[in-house]
Amino acid sequence: MGREDFALNRQVTTRLGVVKQTADDFIARRRGDRIGLVLFSERAYLQTPLTFDRDVVRQLLDQAEVGLTGTETAIGDAIAIAVKRLKDRPANERVLVLLTDGASNAGVMTPLAAAELARTLGVKIYTIGVGAERMEIDTAFGRQIVDPSQDLDEATLTGIAETTGGLYFRATDIDGLAGIYREIDKLEPVADDPLFMRPTVSLFYWPLGGALALFALLALGSLGFRRGANRSRTKEVTT
């Protein structure tokens, strides 16, 4: 997430900086949802339990830094923690959004095993892979083509989404990431006032396969995934 291959307000910035802004907008729109946040690198931990206080979640997201818990990526463990927080919610009201820019190389549970657990417990997972496309850069050896996203494991992220009935999205710039969040808004609307969905966040240094996974646990209070529903709804939202 420390890789500087994105731009924000026409200034080169890190992936984490872009993720923070777009995820913040996403969370702010989800008025009426209960949201939680899980951060992970070589270990995963619950940063924010389910809460209707979106401002608290946004503040804690803003405090996230690259490499907080190491330099590797435990995607499977992060999913497991998120699923644990969702398992007691109605099975048809459980949604998780995972955002990452790396490949899983740490943790106890593999990503696909965690995805199978999520499927068994009725948790739908939307996955987002973050990172710029191949580009030309100036080096000491002249102009060279580099792939900033070579460590991104799109096959696994696709498998996680397909196993749980979700979708995989690829974000190569800030506009693309913002568009993905808007698409999730449409797929998982807030009844009467489509406002939020969540995610993902895992953090670590790019050279070591950093990833940001922001998990939001969304409970739609008296709303629900379908407009007009009157049941409480929970979702969980990782660069």
Question: How does pLDDT run across 229-239, given as a tens digit for each residue?
Answer: 444 444 555 44
Alpha-carbon distances, residue 20 vs 62, 63, 101, 136, 157 (angstroms) = 6, 9, 14, 26, 20
| β-strand pairing of 168-171 with 124-130 | parallel
The candidate with the shortest Cα–Cα distance to 200, out of 176, 172, 181, 219, is: 181
Q: What is the pLDDT of residues 70-113, one digit of tens each?
A: 678 889 999 999 999 888 876 666 899 999 888 888 889 999 99
Please state, in angstroms and rounded to a whole number, the distance separating the CA atoms of residues 185 and 204: 27
- Residue 14: is its pLDDT beyond 60? yes
pTM: 0.75
Residue-range domains of the chain with CATH: 6-236 (3.40.50.410)
Q: What is the pLDDT of residues 167-188, one digit of tens each?
A: 999 988 888 899 999 999 999 8
Range of 92-96, 162-166, 208-212 with top mean pLDDT: 162-166
Q: Tell me which of 8 and 238 has the higher pLDDT.
A: 8
86: tokens are 């969702």
Q: Tell me which of 71 and 203 has the higher pLDDT.
A: 71
Please state, in angstroms and rounded to a whole number, the distance separating the CA atoms of residues 97 and 198: 5
| β-strand pairing of 94-100 with 234-236 | parallel
Buried b (16+ CB within 10 A) or exposed e, 196-223: bbbbbbbbbbbebbbbbbbbbbbbbbeb
